Amino acid sequence: MQGQCSTRITSTRARAGLYFAVPSRRIPIPFRIVLKLIYSPTSPYARKVRVVLAEKRIECQSVEMSPWAPDTRVPQFNPLGKIPVLMLDDDTALYDSRVIVEYLDDVSPVSRLIPDPARQRIVVRRWEALADGMCDAAIGIVLERRRAPAQQSPDYIDRQQRKLAAGLAEMSRELGERTWCNGEAFTLADIAAGCMLGYLDLRHADIDWRGHYPSLARHAEKLARRASFADTIPAP
């Protein structure tokens, strides 16, 4: 069976854990795909990918690697030296997280997370851009505070904090009373927003986003009940 499948299939589980749904015609399917995720357990971008893998029930080997270690091997896989990186079975390295999640959503039809209609798709990608941008700001503050006090720039920290404050206000306004970020269906928008809020809990516990934005707090509670989120909570 390895390599192709040519029987009538509606949905089946490939050996590497990918689910394929194909029309009932005799067509070959690339069957054995071995994926490997280079990640760090505290990275919100990597968590986004891990939640997507879990939601789509795609099996993937995980390789923990710190991009900050002096002897890090991350640049061998991503010239930008950043994680996450998804290695495909032919050693193609995919980065960054936005590229990876698009690939994963395309490769398996289980639980589509990026809607097809252009308007909805772009709104979901905008949520992701906002959430990722807020992660950039949150991580920027953490890195700045790790510098020697005399080298830290209060202006830089203040600028990043304003991005976080404005981003939280925008997310709360956009979410409103909706069930999910993009309306009726759970999408990548919820995953990206949830991972960003999880990172605030991890590194910016002083930001009382739950107190200021009850709708975001309710949303985060709802997301935390999903196994994909519960199983990927970052430990300090």
The interface region with ligand GSH, picked from 80-88, 162-170, 205-213, 227-235 by CB under 6 A, is 80-88
Sign of CA dihedral 110, 113, 114, 116: positive
Which residues are CB-neighbours of 164 under 8 A, at least 6 positions away? 134, 137, 138, 141, 200, 204, 207
CA distance 25 to 10: 10
Instruction: Tell which one of 43, 108, 160, 182 touches ligand GSH (CB under 6 A).
Output: 43
Tokens standing for 43? 């990275």
The interface region with ligand GSH, picked from 90-98, 150-158, 188-196, 206-214 by CB under 6 A, is 90-98
Per-residue exposure over 168-200, b if at least 16 CB sit within 10 Å of its own CB, e if not: beebbebbeeeebbbeebbbbbbbbbbbbbbbb
The interface region with ligand GSH, picked from 13-21, 57-65, 75-83, 215-223 by CB under 6 A, is 75-83
Under rule CB under 6 A, residue 232 binds ligand GSH:
no
> Closest distance between ligand GSH and the C-beta of residue 81, in Å?
4
> Closest distance between ligand GSH and the C-beta of residue 125, in Å?
13
The helix (H) or strand (E) run that includes residue 93 is strand 93-94
Tokens standing for 4? 């192709």
> Closest distance between ligand GSH and the C-beta of residue 85, in Å?
8
CA distance 141 to 147: 10
Whether cis (ω within 30° of 0) applies to the bond prior to 96 is yes
Nearest-CB residue for ligand GSH: 96
- By CB under 6 A, the residues from 128 to 157 that bind ligand GSH are 132, 139
> Closest distance between ligand GSH and the C-beta of residue 151, in Å?
18
Q: Is the CB of 67 or the CB of 167 nearer to ligand GSH?
A: 67
> Closest distance between ligand GSH and the C-beta of residue 74, in Å?
7
Q: Which residues bind ligand GSH (CB under 6 A)?
A: 43, 45, 67, 81-84, 96-98, 132, 139
